[in-house]
Amino acid sequence: MSLRVLMFGWEFPPQNSGGLGTACQGLTRALAGAGAELIFVLPRRFDVKASWQRVIFADDVSSFNLLTVKAALSPYLTVDGYARRRAGADPLYGPDLISEVYRYAAAAADLTRGERFDVIHAHDWLSFPAGLRAKEVSGKPLIVHVHATEFDRTGGNGVNPEVYAIEKEGMTRADRVVTVSHFTKNLVTRHYGVPDYKVTVVHNGIDFEVKPRLDERLSALKRRGERLILFVGRITLQKGPDYFLQAARRVIDLEPGVTFVMVGSGDMTGQIVEQAAALGLGQRFIFAGFLRGDELDAIYQAADLLVMPSVSEPFGLTPLESLANGTPVLVSRQSGVSEVLRHALKVDFWDIDEMVNQIIAVLRHPPLKRTLAVYGQTDARRVTWSAAAEKCLNIYRSLVGAV
């Protein structure tokens, strides 16, 4: 008999602001492919294309009226950031992110009563209370899946005590904790007091396909023989944009004809723009804004190297996207993806000297760039969602057997 999984998420493509929705999509598709039966719960109704599973929207449950929130509920916002965004938006709805999370949990209790399932699987703190309520009502085992913690989002400074408490309660009361990397596992055992044996690492995957060559973007720059170093990600503390900037300053001093490009936006954008101007980087440091799809792929393809200088990165998908586009990567050791990529350059995010050393080596030595790109792609191919699904299924089986 196939395993029936009740899964709680927060976002799902195309309505996603980042990696959580993408990860839920990849994982559920692979789980369904491996024979699991899935019910995926989302807090509010929107158009989801996921034929491999039944999708329930908590705001459809008639007995409970969950307010539909128009503003972007981003799992990547800190609670303060959410409050700021709410202040400028529609004041009629949810006063804060945490109330939304609890309303979701209350609805979950209701909809759980009518469903048949063997295990509960909840993704990130936003859905942990919902998962816990479902566990209370049904008595079924709960897996909480940690894609990011409050420590990643805040860089350890200004951890919101309420969010931390929700994360900790979820991890403590769950039957099993899944983290997306050893990096995150260390964080969870160190900061949340979760015992080592309770935590299983399930690295994220990627539906890897080598991207076709697109028309060259930034062609004016490339025609001039300019080399491009790329940053892709939210411009927030967690992603280390300031380290990228510092490295850029030094590389530009040492190496002619190099332009640094930042793709993305975030609460540090203004600060980085100002700093770049103050450092006199001018046209050598470009902000491309938020890009997706072909536009993003074209930028990856135009680049000589992707740098991911994250301060605290539970996994990190952009290096795999870069490799799919044939561009080699330099990643911080403080990332989950560095655990699955061997053919990548690696640095500690704070080690600007070494970052500069490696960036310049790639620029000066084509054999290095080519070797990293070719072997890096073979690495990325091995990072599959089916491997992740297999590990989750093993966890389900062990829990169902034990109950």
Partner 1 sequence: MPSVCFYFQVHQPRRVKKYRIFDIGREPDYFNDNSESNLNNERIIRKVAGKSYLPANAVLLELLKCHPEFRVSFSFSGVLLEQLADWAPEVLDSFRKLVATGRVAVLAETYHHSLAFFYSLAEFEHQVVAHGELIRRIFGVRPKVFRNTELAYNDNLGRWAERAGYLGVLAEGWDKVLGWKSPNFLYRPAGTKRIKLLLKNYRLSDDIAFRFSERSWSEWPLDAPKFAGWVNAVNGQGQVINLFLDYETFGEHQWADTGIFHFLRQLPPEVLKYPDNDFVTVEEASARYPAMDVLTVPEVLTWADTERDLSAWTGNELQTSSLAALYDLEPAVLAFGDDNLIGAWRRLQTSDHFYYMCTKWFADGDVHAYFNPYASPYEAYISYTNALNDLRLRVEELKFNHVES
Binding site for partner 1 (CB under 8 A): 254, 342-343, 345-346, 353-354, 356-358, 360-361, 365, 367-368, 370-372, 375, 378-379
Closest CB to partner 1 among residues 261, 352:
352
Q: How far is the CB of 14 from partner 1 (least distance, A)?
A: 35
Q: Could you give the CA distance from residue 316 to residue 346 in angstroms, rounded to a whole number?
A: 13
Judged by beta carbon, residue 365 or residue 397, the one nearer partner 1 is 365
**CA 276 remoteness from chain centre:** 26
To the nearest whole angstrom, how small is the minimum distance from the Cβ of residue 357 to partner 1?
4
Q: Min. distance of Cβ 365 from partner 1 in angstroms?
A: 6
Q: What's the Rg (C-alpha) of the chain?
A: 22
What ranges make up the beta strands (E) of 304-380?
Answer: 305-308, 329-332, 345-347
Least separation, in Å, of the C-beta of 343 and partner 1?
7
| H or E stretch covering 36 | none
Angstrom distance (rounded) from CA 70 to CA 321: 30
Cβ(304)–Cβ(327) below 8 Å: yes
Residue number with CB closer to partner 1 (45 or 346): 346
Report the C-alpha gap between 299 and 330 in whole angstroms. 16
Name the residue nearer to partner 1 (CB basis): 162 or 354: 354
Nearer to partner 1, 101 or 340 (CB): 340
- Residue placing its CB nearer to partner 1 in the complex, 330 or 395: 330
**C-beta closer to partner 1: residue 295 or 351:** 351
Minimum distance of partner 1 from residue 84's CB (angstroms): 41
How far, rounded to the nearest angstrom, does the alpha carbon of residue 29 sit from its chain's CA centroid?
A: 17
Q: Which residues of 347-369 are buried (b: 16+ CB within 10 A; e: fewer)?
A: bebebbeebbbbbbebbeeeebb
Q: Angle at which helices 124-138 and 97-113 pack, to 10 degrees?
A: 30
Q: What's the CA dihedral at 46, 47, 51, 56 to 10 degrees?
A: 20
